Structure 1
Amino acid sequence: MKDSELRRHRERPVPAEVDPSGRALYRAHIRLGQGDGAPRLFFLDATGTGGSVCVGYAGRHLPLR
């Protein structure tokens, strides 16, 4: 993600076994409900590194610009 402001909203804590820095970029998300105002759940598939799926954020859609 090139825009540092957008990246800042999507970088969230993760367990050290997922990333030694303790932070990761959560790009994947799903909409929980219908319509543009429905909350989003941002997640990270870490099954290949830490054996889990990390949830980084649940709420209003994060900024797009």
Structure 2
Amino acid sequence: MSETAAAFAVSWWLVRAALTEACFLTLFEVDELSPRLLGIDEHRFRSVRYFRDAESS
């Protein structure tokens, strides 16, 4: 955005506002989208280690 603002001699904020407006005009409505695939990034949710309790053995 800084390079574009400098090239057109406008403020950074004007370029940001124009980009935001362009996104609102071209992006899909999120509520109307339905996912075809769900991915899970983490395969290990917690780490449990076995500790032997000396008193119960």
TM-score, structure 1 as length reference: 0.21
Rg comparison, structure with higher value: 2
The structure whose residues are more often strand, as a share, is: 1
The structure whose residues are more often helix, as a share, is: 2
TM-score, structure 2 as length reference: 0.23
Higher relative CO (CA 8 A, sep ≥ 6), structure 1 or 2?
A: 1
